[in-house]
Amino acid sequence: MRTQNVSLAGKTVLVTGAAGFIGAYLARSLLGRGEVKRVVGLDNLNDYYDVELKRQRLRWIESAAEKSASEWVFVRDDIARERCLEDLFAQHRFNVAVNLAAQAGVRYSIDHPDVYIESNLIGFYRLLEACRHNPVEHLVYASSSSVYGANSSIPYSVGDRTDEPVSLYAATKKSNEMLAHAYAKLYDIPSTGLRFFTVYGPAGRPDMAYFGFADKLRQGKTIEIFNYGNCRRDFTYIDDIVEGILRVMRCAPERRKGEDGLPLPPYRLYNIGNSHPESLTEFVRILGEELVAAGVLDRDFDFAAHQKMVPMQPGDVPVTYADTSPLEADFGFKPDTPLREGLRRFAKWYRDYSA
């Protein structure tokens, strides 16, 4: 177990992408604990998907802030804008920064590459520069299981090769890891990258499969199941992701020296996944049952008539599967929310959201 070396008590924390799925849950959790002095959320509220859903998440955060001893500040701005982070760091003197701002999605990157370069590369570079000139105790940032590409070594371990991405999105996430490593080495910025595996839950992203499937089935449309149902995904519930982030935030990588006596970069990577990949056919079956149980779909809904098996889509991979043993060893934590329980919570939320 690693020893906590970053106290959050009375600290100011930056959460980028605060109106996003993971960012909103993290901000709300930090405020709910009342430990930090201030949480500053940054988001540009772009229209990649329904902005009203992002505003709903912000209302959740504001509700938590009203009951919290911690202060909540929301800033609508773009992480890639040259002066954005420079001004924010000068104003708030952040102790810890958590970067969850990114243009997400594999398929969208095929037709909109410029958006990914702007947000995921330039935006992350701006954050690293801000941390360079305004030192933080710990920089935690979101990477992705997509960096493993079509790796045939299962489960995916952080030491596996990740130099053959199959999508631009994956390439930008791998680039984030390399940039963070370089800045940790050159400027002594303690940095931890977290490779998330297929995050799901209430108020998630509408472009994710479970959300899109729910929309189409509710509308009586046909859903497409890629790779003829043979894909397997390591679905990780949002609460498990947030718990992992919170534990990692308190443990910045140690400053050490190598065998040659030279300093090693204070830098680490971890997988955060459920370590229990499910087939898409099983996933759809459970989702359908929970949508029926929640009253979203009728009990006699004909699922077979609303499914179509199709080939693999470009940029996708057949399986994701996280080796989380380093996370378990260092933090005593392993994501373990069962898929059915997570989808049940989503279905109940979705019932109210879509009413």
Q: Please return the burial class of 87, using the count of CB atoms within 10 Å of its CB with bins 0-12, 13-18 and 19+.
A: middle
What pLDDT is recorded for position 315? 62
Number of Cα atoms under 13 Å in the Cβ half of residue 168:
19
- What fold characterizes domain 12-199+237-275+322-337? Rossmann fold (3.40.50)
- How many whole angstroms separate alpha carbon 295 and alpha carbon 243? 30
Q: Give the list of residues 6+ apart from residue 191 with CB closer than 8 angstroms, or none.
A: 138, 139, 140, 141, 180, 181, 183, 184, 253, 266, 267, 268
Given the residues 116, 169, 200, 237, select the one marked as catalytic. Answer: 169
Domain ranges of the chain: 12-199+237-275+322-337
* Secondary structure E strands in the chain: 12-16, 38-43, 71-76, 96-99, 138-144, 191-196, 199-200, 223-225, 232-233, 236-237, 256-257, 263-264, 267-272, 278-279, 307-309
β-pairing verdict for 263-264 and 256-257: antiparallel
169 is catalytic: yes
Q: What is the pLDDT along the chain (355 residues), one digit of tens a residue?
A: 899 999 999 999 999 999 999 999 999 999 999 999 999 999 999 999 999 999 999 999 999 999 999 999 999 999 999 999 999 999 999 999 999 999 988 778 888 899 999 999 999 999 999 999 999 999 999 999 999 987 778 899 999 999 889 899 999 999 999 999 999 999 999 999 999 999 999 999 999 999 999 999 999 999 988 877 788 889 999 999 999 999 999 999 998 877 777 788 999 999 999 998 999 899 999 999 999 999 999 999 999 899 988 887 776 777 788 999 999 999 999 999 999 999 999 999 999 999 8
- How many whole angstroms separate alpha carbon 57 and alpha carbon 77? 17
- How many whole angstroms separate alpha carbon 3 and alpha carbon 208? 36
85 near 123, Cβ under 8 Å?
Answer: no
- How many whole angstroms separate alpha carbon 88 and alpha carbon 86? 6
- How many whole angstroms separate alpha carbon 279 and alpha carbon 289? 16
Q: Percentage helix, strand, coil, to 5, in the chain?
A: 45, 15, 40
- How many whole angstroms separate alpha carbon 219 and alpha carbon 217? 5
What pLDDT is recorded for position 240? 98
